[in-house]
Amino acid sequence: EVQLVQSGAEVKQPGATVRISCNISGYTFTDSYIHWVQQAPGKGLEWMGFVDPEDSRSVYAENFQGRVTITADTSTDTVYMQVNSLGSDDTAVYFCATGLTIPQGGYWGQGTLVTVSS
């Protein structure tokens, strides 16, 4: 069974940094890109970027470029997503997902709520 298990909820102050993890099991880690998707409260889904675990290449959406870093650790089959300089509009649930467009992908983590508040 494929499982994507994300780290727990976080509360951060404005200007802080948050790092979320996503551990993948039951799936060949290097089989596909691992994506991150943001869902603000009551809003839709926004793609943030992906990492290719095979070569550690990352690609980011323009809205997140420069402030988000996605990395992969092949020794633990874990992907990390770090967001710097948090602001109130970063309050959201963040999801990791495998290979959003390919047949063998489409799996999602349970989501991690990040609350930015002073």
Partner 1 sequence: DVVMTQSPLSLPVTLGQPASISCRSSQSLVYSDGDSYLSWFQQRPGQSPRRLIYKVSNRDSGVPDRFSGSGSGTDFTLKISRVEAEDVGLYYCMQGTHWPLTFGGGTKVEIK
Binding region for partner 1 (CB under 8 A) = 35, 37, 44-47, 59, 61-62, 95, 97, 100-103, 105-111
Three-state SS for 30? Answer: helix
Nearest approach in angstroms of CB 109 to partner 1 is 7
User: Residue 59 Cβ, how far from partner 1 at the closest point, in Å?
Assistant: 7
When the beta carbons of 27 and 95 are compared against partner 1, the nearer one is: 95
> 16 or 113, CB closer to partner 1?
113
The DSSP-derived string for 45-110 is: -EEEEEEETTTTEEEE-TTTTTTEEEEEETTTTEEEEEE-S--GGG-EEEEEEE-TTSTT---B--
Nearest approach, Cβ of 3 to partner 1 (angstroms)?
12
The single-letter code of the amino acid at 51 is V
Q: Which is nearer to partner 1, 78 or 112 (CB)?
A: 112
Measured distance CA(86)–CA(96) in Å, rounded: 19
| Bridge partner list, 82 | 19, 69
Given the complex with partner 1, which of 78 and 98 has the nearer CB atom? 98
CB of 52 to partner 1, least distance (A): 13
